[in-house]
Amino acid sequence: MANSSKDNLIPTSNLPLQDRVAIVTGASRGIGRAIAIHLASLGAKLVINYTSNKAQADLVAAEINSSFPSHTPRTLTVQADVSDPNQVKSLFDIAEQFFNSQPYILVNSAGVSTDRNINIADISVEEFDRILRGAFLCAKEAANRLKRGGGGRIILMSSSIVASLRPGQAPYAASKAAVDAMVKILAKELKGSGITANCVSPGPIATDMYFAGKTEEMVQRNIDECPLGRLGQGEDVAPVVGFLATDASEWVNGQVIRVNGGYV
């Protein structure tokens, strides 16, 4: 496991994301929180999006701001439901106005999952739409709003469930397979913009969303299936996202990168 996120927040000069604005959805907890803190450690200014838990989002912002000597805030917390196109647009508007700069980076980490296994025959149209909608809307807005000319990065979170194909997970797996296909095509559609588009696909990660509805036996089965013998942590995923956000990743485009410890 990587070092704690707090240890990584040591400001230095010439950071790879120095003062670039990054929007991270679902950044108040879990994988999104780890990603936001890591991008800040690389010099980015952060827009921390949350859906409902303002207190947790404010704690993430405070942790980042306290680690930099400047009194100028480097983070902004913005409530927005990414399944609502008007709120997604507003999220980008607020980011531009607050930092007086076009965003360079979007990381869509806002996750929606069913809290139970559910078969294709039983899921509602509304529930399936809810799982997929946010990734599409965020990718669409980012394709139109990110800084062009080099350095623009769209990073969508997918899932290794696309490869493991577990019964009862068809709606979630199908939604993530759609994200995988969408990002590969989006990378081609953005030709000439200097913006890259990639997916990061974690395996089982020890977050509140992962544990919801799972028994101890289900968790232990996932641990046993991983060659490294543990669940992943947000800090295992964040450095991969950080690499994709920097100029060093320019030649990585239209890819789906699985970060799962060999789980599948």
Choice among 14-18, 141-145, 162-166, 247-251 with the minimum mean pLDDT: 162-166
Please say if the pLDDT value at position 146 is more than 70. yes
Q: What SS3 state is found at 32?
A: helix
Told to judge if 172 belongs to the known catalytic residues of this protein, a careful annotator would answer yes
Helix runs in the chain, H state only = 5-8, 30-41, 54-65, 85-99, 125-145, 161-164, 170-189, 208-211, 216-225, 234-245
Question: 5-205+234-259 has which fold?
Answer: Rossmann fold (3.40.50)
- Dump pLDDT digits (tens) for 89-99: 999 999 999 99
Please say if the pLDDT value at position 71 is more than 70. no
Q: What SS3 state is found at 23?
A: strand
- What residues contact 64, with CB distance under 8 A and at least 6 apart? 9, 36, 37, 40, 46, 74, 75
Q: Predicted confidence band at 1 (pLDDT cuts at 50, 70, 90)?
A: very low
Please say if the pLDDT value at position 3 is more than 50. no
CA dihedral (101, 80, 141, 35) positive or negative: positive
164 or 100, higher pLDDT: 100
Catalytic residue, chosen from 50, 104, 172, 263, is: 172
The predicted structure's pLDDT at residue 165: 83
pLDDT over 90 percentage in the chain:
72
Please say if the pLDDT value at position 116 is more than 60. no
Q: Predicted confidence band at 67 (pLDDT cuts at 50, 70, 90)?
A: confident
Q: Predicted confidence band at 212 (pLDDT cuts at 50, 70, 90)?
A: confident
pLDDT over 70 percentage in the chain:
91
Q: What SS3 state is found at 165?
A: coil
Cβ(69)–Cβ(45) under 8 Å? no
Question: Which pTM was predicted?
Answer: 0.91
- Dump pLDDT digits (tens) for 162-186: 988 888 778 888 889 999 999 999 9
Q: Predicted confidence band at 5 (pLDDT cuts at 50, 70, 90)?
A: very low
Q: What values do phi and psi take at 157, rounded to 5? A: -90, 125
Q: How far is Cα of residue 36 from the mean position of the Cα atoms in its chain?
A: 9
